[in-house]
């Protein structure tokens, strides 16, 4: 089992994040888009999971209002899936959201991405709708999921 730490992402992490983004998604964000996200500290929070030698995952959050958070993107380096990287990143994100007073969270996920949906359900997300043809290149629908951040959930989990 590889160990890693979760820390704030910096522009020095951009190339590593881009590699993961391109490996994981059929419509990856561009370098310019990711740079804009990483440098927008008012409404964005990007973190990375880092082992001794490399970035093994990342999470991008957007704070929409004082009480709402949107998961923009999350990715795990190929070969590190199923090792808890995404859970560690999400746990850290929930802790930050709670400190900010966030009450609810939302995201979109490809309807075919059952593994990600199971992860999000673990954190209390539930489907609330479909965005038809959401992904431009693949024309795949996105499942819209929402969660309420519970005040008494253990270990930063949504409740």
Active site residues: 108, 120
Neighbours of 12 (CB within 10 A): 10
> 129 phi and psi, to 5 degrees?
175, 180
The count of C-alpha atoms lying within 13 angstroms of the C-alpha of 13, restricted to the half-sphere facing its C-beta, is 26
Using alpha carbons, list the distances in angstroms from residue 122 to 20, 91, 118, 147.
Answer: 23, 11, 6, 11
d(CA 95, CA 89): 10
């Amino acid at each position: 089992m590889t160990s890693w730490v979760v820390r704030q992402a910096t522009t020095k992490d951009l190339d590593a994040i881009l590699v993961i983004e391109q490996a994981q998604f059929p419509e990856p964000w561009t370098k310019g888009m990711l740079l804009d996200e990483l440098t927008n500290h008012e409404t964005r929070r990007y973190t990375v999971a880092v082992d001794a030698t490399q970035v093994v995952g990342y999470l991008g959050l957007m704070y929409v209002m004082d009480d709402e958070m949107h998961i923009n993107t999350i990715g795990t380096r190929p070969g590190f899936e199923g090792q808890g990287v995404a859970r560690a990143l999400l746990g850290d994100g929930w802790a930050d959201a709670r400190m900010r007073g966030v009450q609810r969270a939302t995201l979109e996920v490809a309807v075919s991405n059952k593994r990600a949906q199971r992860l999000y359900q673990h954190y209390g997300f539930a489907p609330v709708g479909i965005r038809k043809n959401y992904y431009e290149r693949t024309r795949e629908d996105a499942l819209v999921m929402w969660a309420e951040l519970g005040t008494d959930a253990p270990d930063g989990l949504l409740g």
